[in-house]
Structures are given as C-alpha cells and as structure tokens.
Amino acid sequence: MPYRFLSADEAAESLHLRPHDLDELVKARLIPFERRGDRIVFRRQDLDDWASRHILGSAGSDPVTRDRPSWPRACALSPSAPLLPGLIRPEQINAAMSAKTKASVLHDLVALAKSTGWVCDPPELAASLLARETLCSTAVPGGVAFLHPRSPDPYRFTRSFLLLGRTLRPIHYGAPDGQPTELFFLLGCQDDRLHLHTLARLCLLAQKTDLLEQLRAAPDPAGMHASLITAELAVLSAAQR
C-alpha cells in the first residue's frame, strides 16, 4: 500500500486534527503510533482502524473516552456539501437481501459491488471486509452496520461508491447492544479521507435523523435512495442555521 507510514503532520491532516490535538493523543497513548529513533510515525492501517472505531463510536457502538473533545474535527470536512449524491444511486441498493448470516451478507454485498464494475478484485474485497469484521463488528445500535475494508486502497476500486442492502429479516451481526441488524451499508472509497468523512456522515444521519426508520419503511430502492438524500440535505441545512 502506498505511504504505509505517516508522519505526525500527515496523520493530523488525514484525520483533520490540529497538530496539538494529535500530540495530546500521543502523549496520553490514546492513538496507535510507533517510534523510529527520535521520530514518531503512524502506521496507516492502524490509524484507519482507530479512526473508524471512533467514528462508529459516535453512533453508539463503542464509548469514546478522553479523546472525544478533539474527535469531531475529523468529521468536519466540507460540512455544508452533500457527499451521498455522488456516491450512491438506486441501482446500488438491494431492498430485499435474502441473507441470513454474516457470511451471506458479505457475499451478497460483494456481489452487488461486483455488479457495478468498479471493483478490481472482488475476492480481495471480500477478504478485506471479513478482516475488518473479525477485528470488530461494524454493526452499531439501531439495526445498522457500516461495512468497509480493513484499510482504504486507491487501487481496490476504479471509483468511490456506497452500497446499501436491506435484509428480509434482521440477523445477528455483532452489534454491541446484542440486537439484530437489517440495514447494511458498504463503503467503497479510494482514499482514507473520503472514507472517514463518508463514515462520519452516515453515522451522523443514523444518530440525528429518523433515516433508519425511513429506510426500513421504504418500498423499494428508489424510496430508500430518496430517504438517504433527503436526510443528508436536512442535516446540512440544520447545521447552517
């Protein structure tokens, strides 16, 4: 993977954190880092894992402790610009997935991703999704999961995209509250910054709007897509007031 290690300045820019905030996280050992002589570097994959865990924590999956005050800056890129219209269309939504297990959810979503023509190596995508779920489930309270590869790779996809699947029946997917999941997003982003901000945007919508209820009630992919776009516009409009 290109740029496997990041300097402190590169890590702060990637996470949209102030250098001082990153220094404080390092001093408190609240973020993964390595020492190379007198330099501190950050392994990109460890940083991506840390960032996604904390963003998912904003949706209630994992309590975020002392570093919470500095973390919202990492979710603030282009706060007034919608992300979703450029990432998802109705044909990227499956409103009736027959999957009944975690393995079959992964299989069905990879098949949907393959059908877009944007995935360079579907088996590698499946392996990376499984590696991320093995590390920690991407399901959060509310019956939704945000699947994504273990680490973004610019060569995994020919463009960035978002998929959404809704299972016919909720399944147990490892949500921290022990409740089943029926809504499954799959993030396919070419770069880590877009990945983190898309994940943060989706978690914000799940937390601050009734989007999840609308997605469950929508009759078809077109209705689910309309609910997504409308919810994002509503949140952005409220933020500008």
Residues involved in catalysis: 148
Alpha-carbon distance of 74 to 72, in angstroms, equals: 5
Residue 221: alpha-carbon gap to chain centroid: 20
DSSP state of 135: H
SS3 154: coil
Helix (H, G, I), strand (E, B) or coil at 58: coil
Query: What are the strands, taking DSSP E only, across the chain?
Result: 5-6, 34-36, 39-43, 93-97, 139-140, 144-147, 161-171, 181-188
CA dist list (Å): 51 to 6, 156, 166, 167, 230: 14, 20, 26, 28, 27
> Bridge-partner residues for 211, per DSSP?
none
End-to-end CA distance of the chain: 41
Tell me if residue 35 falls in helix, strand or coil.
Answer: strand
Instruction: Taking each helix axis as running N to C, give the angle between helix 8-15 and helix 192-208, from 0 to 180 degrees, rounded to the nearest 10.
Output: 40
